[in-house]
Amino acid sequence: MALTELAGRRVLLGVTGGIAAYKAAELVRRLAEAGAQVRVAMTENAARFVTPLTFQALSGHPVRLSLWDESAEAAMGHIELARWAEDILIAPASADFLARLAHGLADDLLTTLCLASAAPVYVAPAMNQQMWANAATQANLALLRSRGIGVFGPAAGSQACGEVGAGRLLEADELVQALASTRRPRSLSGRQVLVSAGPTYEDIDPVRFLGNRSSGRMGFAIAAAAAEAGAAVTLVAGPVHLATPAGVHRIDVRSARQMHAAVMAAAAVADVFVAAAAVGDFRPQEVARHKIKKRDDGGMTLELTQNPDILAEVAALPRRPLLVGFAAETEHLETHARAKLERKRLDLIAANLVGGGLGFEVDDNSLTLIAADGTIHLPTAPKRELAHQLVDIIAQRLERREATAGVASA
Ligand code: CTP
């Protein structure tokens, strides 16, 4: 994937002491693949986990460890290195390093470089979940954030120490994405974006439901891309197993009616509504109070009733947001999608083929964007890359719509 944002960018990667230091080796490769020039500086403790030679081989440059290395200082002094850097990314950033950075210490090479550089500093914390939750760590983080230091992650999950919780280093490609996103123009700054995502579950009885195969990944990627573009994002999510993207306000729902209520409550103030959810069109007429038992005649009929059409109701609001619908189709993609665009009075519809390994439960997708004035094909790419492209197009349409409204009212 082309991440042009990092092409030629001079990135100083700081590695601090923690078991996640091994992941920083992969990060050097990914940054280089994205076109960045990478130099590595490590703390003495980081070198206990991974050897400087590993990073030297991967970055193609000597690795700096100490302020007091005369030959390294002669080659490229630490002040020179601090000036060279256009971005400083500390990954992993240990609790100890965050504490020293927060308090302006310069007692080793890495803290000195951070203090001596005008480049933006980003930290990717990684530590035991208890250390992460500790009030001292959180206070240090708040101080760093208030000074404009960017924080990437951490993720939650099982940890090297055997515990489960928040404190895992983000994966290398997530860190590259996060760094690249800091370079993107913030095209949705000041905008309110509402996204629906995932499936809905319609209960049949206390143990069964009607659902669908939507994973929610496309909608979550759009919410993340909109937040990275500077929007205030509300994400109404059906039942999915996905982490909330950074900076996104998430509302979890289960049924179509719950999704309808949550979306309608937020739609009045939204500038954009992206309906990426696969909303169940029908729900059982009645939810059985007890588990339905097998019958002797071998049959079973479920009476269904129609759910509200969330997108159509938002379209009918007096002050309607820019409306982007999704059409997941198994055949006649453009014809069906264009019919939906017109029937639901949408500004844009993102159509994709599903079934046969396409669309749901996969990382890559392709989209055909259809509007009244034309069609754009976005070729197969990871969903988060497509999400950025879609967000760019939404931002352009929003501006165009306002310009036209301005002309009309002038
Ligand atoms: N949608 C919605 N509420 C519903 C059904 C659909 O908001 N009750 C939205 C979806 O999020 C999507 C778009 O409408 O953005 C199209 O969904 P789809 O289910 O394909 O459309 P339908 O109108 O239900 O058409 P079909 O006959 O193909 O089911």
Tell me the per-residue pLDDT of 22-36, one tens digit each, with 9 for 90 and over: 999 999 999 999 999
| Residue 114 annotated in active site | no
Q: What is the dihedral of CA 33, 38, 43, 45, to 10 degrees?
A: 20
Average of pLDDT values for 240-244?
Answer: 91
- On whether both 126 and 257 belong to a single domain, the answer is no
Residue spans of alpha helices (H) in 51-188: 52-59, 70-75, 78-84, 95-102, 109-116, 129-133, 135-146, 172-181
Indicate whether 187 belongs to any domain: no
223: which residues sit within 8 A by CB, 6+ positions away?
193, 195, 197, 233, 235, 245, 248
- How far apart CA 59 and CA 49 sit, in angstroms, is 18
Residue 316 · residue 341 · CB < 8 Å: no
Task: Say if ligand 1 is within 6 A of residue 348 CB.
Answer: no
Assess whether the C-beta atom of 141 lies below 6 angstroms from ligand 1: no
Token readout for 296 is: 């002797």
Helix, strand or coil, per DSSP, at residue 378: strand
Instruction: Assess contact for 351 and 334: CB atoms under 8 A.
Output: yes
Q: pLDDT digits over 56-77, tens only?
A: 999 999 999 988 888 888 878 8
Q: Residue 137: inside a domain, yes or no?
A: yes
Q: Is residue 401 part of a domain?
A: yes
Q: Quick one: 216 and 95 in the same domain? A: no
Q: Do 167 and 197 fall within a single domain?
A: no
Confidence (pLDDT) at 358: 66
The alpha carbon of 227 and the centre of ligand 1 are apart by a number of angstroms equal to: 24
Six-digit token string for 354: 């599903």
Residue 207 pLDDT class (50, 70, 90 cuts): very high
pLDDT tens digits, one per residue of 102-161: 999 999 999 999 999 999 999 999 999 999 999 999 999 989 988 889 999 898 888 888
* Cα 309 to averaged position of ligand 1 atoms, centre (Å): 7
- What is the best residue among 255, 273, 311, 342 to mutate for testing ligand 1's pocket, by most ligand atoms within 8 Å of CB? 311
**122, 235: one domain:** no
Report phi then psi at 398, rounded to 5. -60, -45
Residues 6+ apart with CB under 8 A from 117: 12, 82, 83, 85, 88
Which amino acid belongs to residue 65?
A: L
Same domain, 173 and 198: no
Shared-domain flag, residues 155 and 281: no
On whether residue 329 sits in a domain, the answer given is yes
| Structural domain count of the chain | 2
Beta bridge partners of 14: 41, 90
Domain that holds residue 352: 192-286+298-409
pLDDT at 409 over 60: no
**Per the domain annotation, does 113 fall within a domain?**
yes
Same domain, 316 and 350: yes
| pLDDT of res. 1 | 44
| Amino acid of residue 53 | L
34 within some domain: yes
Catalytic residue among 57, 136, 161, 207: 161
- 350 with 254, same domain: the answer is yes
Predicted pLDDT at 297: 86
Closest C-alpha to ligand 1, atom 4:
309
218 with 245, same domain? yes
pLDDT band at 175 (very low <50, low <70, confident <90, very high): very high
* CATH code, domain with 69: 3.40.50.1950
Mean per-residue pLDDT for 36-59? 96
Give the position, in ligand 1's atom list, of the atom nearest the Cα of 325.
Answer: 15
Closest residue by CA, ligand 1 atom 23: 340
Q: Tokens 């928040």 label which residue? A: 166
Beta-bridged to residue 258, according to DSSP, are none
Quick check: 218 and 245 in contact, CB under 8 A?
Answer: no
Task: Note the residue count of the chain.
Answer: 410
Residue located nearest, by CA, to atom 12 of ligand 1: 326
Domain contains 135: yes
Q: What is the mean pLDDT of the chain?
A: 92
Q: How far apart are CA 219 and CA 5, in angstroms?
A: 23
Indicate whether 22 belongs to any domain.
yes
Pairing of strands 374-382, 364-371: antiparallel
Among 181, 210, 226, identify where a domain stops: 181
φ, ψ for residue 363 (rounded to 5)? -85, -30
DSSP β-bridge partners for residue 283: 305
CATH of the domain at 196: 3.40.50.10300
Average pLDDT, integer, range 273-282: 97
Q: Which of 122, 150, 181 is the last residue of a domain?
A: 181
Residue ending a domain, among 162, 181, 200, is: 181
Among positive and negative, which fits the CA dihedral 214, 218, 224, 227? negative
Q: What are the two backbone dihedrals, phi and then psi, of residue 298, each rounded to the nearest 5 degrees?
A: 75, 5
Do 244 and 155 belong together in one domain? Answer: no
Do 200 and 163 reside in the same domain of the chain?
no
Asked if 244 and 166 sit in the same domain, the reply is no
Q: What is the mean pLDDT of residues 311-340?
A: 94
Q: Which of 253, 259, 281, 336 to mutate to test the pocket of ligand 1 (most atoms within 8 A of CB)?
A: 281
Q: How far is CA 239 from the centre of its chain?
A: 18
Residue 279 Cα to ligand 1 middle (Å): 6
